[in-house]
């Protein structure tokens, strides 16, 4: 199936590869070559965060020019963010927290959402709205491996994408947990690599990330 027409669920997004890169782009000229570099390394779910004025333009460029990519929007905090991301061509959304209003807007847009949670109450709120594929954020700061292990009992039907404090040195520990489908991390796309247009190193990091969970 062509990725540009593939219907996605949040679980599809989380199970596609071991790592979802968390991407901050300040220059739209970097968007397309970056996406191609990540795809060359086996990563096609790309979270472009809405943290810069160029973010929506970058999402639009990737959506239009890199058909093998499945570009999503990160740092989605409101219904307006979700609408803007969808209009730019985002195929999924990732939020740092969760509100029922955001969940309902994403559902209305048919935009898969990975809602951010950090407590048991937040997990239950997300479940009340029909979400069971969740982002654990900020993962390390909010309890890390110990918290995820504790959640396996009461929330055994939930899968997580821990994000925040995850890097190449500890990602494998998180991925070894049965309730972790993938991790989110910024180490695949550093500001230095973008500044140098060092696409080959990004491809190498993506390839290494794909080997983290066999």
Distance CA 196, CA 214 (A): 31
Which one is catalytic: 47, 65, 149, 173?
47
Q: List the catalytic residue out of 11, 129, 135, 149.
A: 135
Nearest by Cα to 47 from 203, 180, 184: 184
Place of tokens 């039907």: 157
Whether 135 is catalytic is: yes
Say whether 122 is catalytic: no
| Helix 199-210 vs helix 31-40: crossing angle, to nearest 10 | 40
Q: Can you say whether the dihedral through the CA atoms of 54, 22, 126, 139 is positive or negative?
A: negative
- Overall size of the chain counted in residues: 214
User: What is the C-alpha separation between 185 and 33, in angstroms, rounded?
Assistant: 19
Q: What does residue 116 show for φ and ψ, rounded to 5 degrees?
A: -80, 135
Residues marked as catalytic:
47, 135
């Amino acid at each position: 199936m062509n990725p540009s027409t593939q219907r996605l669920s949040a679980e599809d997004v989380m199970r596609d590869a071991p790592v979802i890169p968390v991407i901050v782009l300040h220059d739209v000229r970097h968007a397309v070559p970056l996406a191609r570099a990540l795809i060359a390394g086996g990563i096609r779910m790309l979270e472009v965060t809405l943290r810069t004025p160029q973010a929506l333009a970058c999402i639009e460029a990737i959506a239009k020019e890199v058909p093998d990519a499945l570009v999503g929007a990160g740092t989605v905090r409101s219904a307006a963010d979700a609408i803007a991301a969808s209009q730019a061509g985002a195929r999924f959304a990732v939020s740092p927290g969760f509100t029922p209003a955001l969940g309902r807007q994403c559902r209305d847009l048919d935009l898969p959402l990975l809602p951010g949670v950090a407590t048991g109450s937040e997990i239950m709120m997300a479940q009340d709205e029909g979400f069971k594929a969740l982002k654990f954020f900020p993962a390390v700061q909010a309890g890390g491996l110990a918290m995820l292990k504790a959640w396996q009992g009461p929330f055994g039907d939930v899968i997580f994408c821990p994000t925040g404090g995850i890097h190449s040195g500890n990602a494998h520990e998180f991925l070894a947990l049965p309730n972790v489908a993938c991790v989110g991390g910024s180490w695949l796309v550093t500001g230095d690599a973008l500044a140098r247009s060092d696409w080959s190193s990004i491809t190498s990091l993506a390839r290494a990330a794909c080997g983290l969970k066999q």
